[in-house]
Every structure is written in C-alpha cells, then in structure tokens.
Structure 1
Amino acid sequence: MSERKFTFDALKRILREGAGADEGVDLDGDILDADFEELGYESLALLETGGRIEREYGISLDDDIFTDHRTPRALVAAVNELLKDNTVSAA
C-alpha cells in the first residue's frame, strides 16, 4: 500500500474551499511559516479546515492540532505524521 501524503497545495485548496481567503493574503506567496491567524484564519475557519482534512484523508485530528501547529508548514508535517502512523498501524 502506498503512503498517502498531505501537501501544502492540498492545504491551500482546503483552506480556500472551506474558509476562503482573506483579500490581503496571497496563499500562493511565501506563507509556510506564517501563523494561521496572521493569514486571516481564526478558530471557526480552522475547525472547518480540520474537518475537511479528516474527511478527505480518513484521519482523526486532535482538538489542539491548530494550537500546537500554528503554521502551514507545521500543520502539513503533523498531518503527514498522522498519515504515516495510520499506514503503519493498518499494515
């Protein structure tokens, strides 16, 4: 079974689909290390984003995923770690 990967492009797509994009933020810019709040994504938008990630990737995210991983880079890494753990435990 091949390992499924969560990418920065997938995160940007999910953010746009679920919560839109703040007019002053270019999600295609250098935002990997920007705080989600600086990008205009607050708790409700992040809850929607988390729900979409869970449904699309078949994983369960901890309630504090966005407080522990406040940037796109950190979130992508955390989701990929969960996907890796799910692949290992499913094998």
Structure 2
Amino acid sequence: MSKRPQLPGDPSDLYLRISYDDELWDTPQADTLERWSVSVLHRRRAHDGGQGPAATGNCVTVECPACTVEDATVGSMTFYRVHLDRGRNAFRSMEQESEELY
C-alpha cells in the first residue's frame, strides 16, 4: 500500500492577494481586456532572536510578542477578463497584448 504524499506546509497558511492594475488604460485594447494579478502568499511566523521559522502552533498565544509574521510569495498567476460586448475584436486585442493569449 502506498503512503499518501505529505504537503510541504499547512495549507491554512496560504493566502491569495488579488489585484487589478489598469496598465492597459492607454492601449487600444483597454476597453476589451482587463489584467488581474493573483499572488499566492505563504504566511509564517518567525521568532525574534534568530531561532528561525516556527510553526503557527509553537507560540503560546496568537499574538505572541516574540514572533513576527512574514508573507513569502510562493506563486503567481495573471488572468485576463475579456469583454466581448465592447465593440473591439477580442481576438485582435488578445493577440496584440501577448503571444501567449494568441
């Protein structure tokens, strides 16, 4: 019987940061495309005094004065929202924005 692989960390310490950046505002595809960025953050506690990272459960209280919280980016994604009802050809807009979208 095979053993189930373990996760490298506690998934409850993962957070998403979703942001909309209007970098396309001065381009011809501004009305057709929206670019959304998503960052996957891992929140961990680090004990002051150089003891290194600690599991969330190692502190006596959630607000342990000897711990600081750090968010490390462990991944990112970019999404495009395409507006098909805005009059511009969506295919051409995606093609002009990126070869990956093409």
Identify, as 1 or 2, the structure richer in strand. 2
Identify, as 1 or 2, the structure richer in helix. 1
Higher relative contact order (CA 8 A, sep 6+): 1
Q: Tell me the TM-score normalised to structure 2 length.
A: 0.22
Q: Tell me the TM-score normalised to structure 1 length.
A: 0.24
